[in-house]
Amino acid sequence: MRCSVCGGTSFSHSQVLWDGLVAEWEINDVERKYIDRQQGSRCNACGTNFRSIALAGSIMEHWSFRGTFRDFVREFPHLKALEINEASDLTRPLSDLSDRILAEYPAVDMHEMPYADQKFDLVVHSDTLEHVKNPVAALKECRRVLRPGGLLAFTVPVIVDRMSRTREGLAKSYHGFPTTGTDDYLVYTEYGSDMWRQVIEAGFDSVKINTFDFPAGIAISACIHNAG
């Protein structure tokens, strides 16, 4: 295994999930282990977690770049990027892009973003969509602000052996830390292997999946092929 951000090849693991969240999510021991790897396993050299390593891979593939993500941002310094909430460990390298905008909730709401149509080459978010009330509307906004040829790349926690479900009507469940419990971290959607579907429903016509240590690291990306 090789870190897509720095090229590092050694990794450390730490436990992230807590029993209360596991019970609400109704995930089994195998699922708990790979979600822990997704969130809490990191490159020893640069500290990037597995979901961010998968995400960086999906972005570089779109631009046919073979190298590390650190080199990628040096190669494309003027890429117009919209980062919606800090994209976990990619926020640091993304901040080196001269035209990157960091849009943070609640100042910017994904359902209605204050940006012109086709403004960005790249829209990135990481583990944000599961906290959005209407994810299809939010993905439509991502599509609207992307130029033709631009890329949407994101992660959500995915339980690969089940389908997505809404938590509507279920007990409130929060990510973050066991004690956080603020509505920013309230979970609206628990994603399963049909997580590509909302992207298509939002008007993209194809979806790509990039992985790192599957099923721990899964990144979803979609490209606008035309403006229509």
**From candidates 35, 43, 103, 187, binder to Zn ion by CB under 5 A:** 43
User: Tokens 């901040």 appear where?
Assistant: 95
Residue 5 as a binder of Zn ion (CB under 5 A): the answer is yes
CA–CA separation, 59 and 61 (whole Å): 5
Scanning 43-51, 94-102, 162-170, 203-211 for contacts with Zn ion by CB under 5 A, the matching segment is 43-51
Residue 1 as a binder of Zn ion (CB under 5 A): the answer is no
Cα-based angle 216, 39, 83 (whole degrees, multiple of 5): 105
Query: Contact at 8 Å (CB) between 127 and 133?
Result: no
Task: List all residues 6 or more positions away from 33 whose beta carbon is below 8 Å from its beta carbon.
Answer: none
Residue 145 as a binder of Zn ion (CB under 5 A): the answer is no
Kindly tell me which of 2 and 225 has the beta carbon lying closer to Zn ion.
Answer: 2
Residue 90 as a binder of Zn ion (CB under 5 A): the answer is no
Residue 8 as a binder of Zn ion (CB under 5 A): the answer is yes
Residue 81 as a binder of Zn ion (CB under 5 A): the answer is no
CB of 65 to Zn ion, least distance (A): 16
Scanning 4-12, 17-25, 31-39, 201-209 for contacts with Zn ion by CB under 5 A, the matching segment is 4-12
Scanning 17-25, 42-50, 72-80, 98-106 for contacts with Zn ion by CB under 5 A, the matching segment is 42-50
Cα-based angle 68, 70, 74 (whole degrees, multiple of 5): 115
Cα distances (Å, whole numbers) of residue 228 to 51, 139, 141, 201, 205: 31, 16, 14, 15, 11
Interface with Zn ion (CB under 5 A): 3, 5-6, 8, 43, 45-46, 48
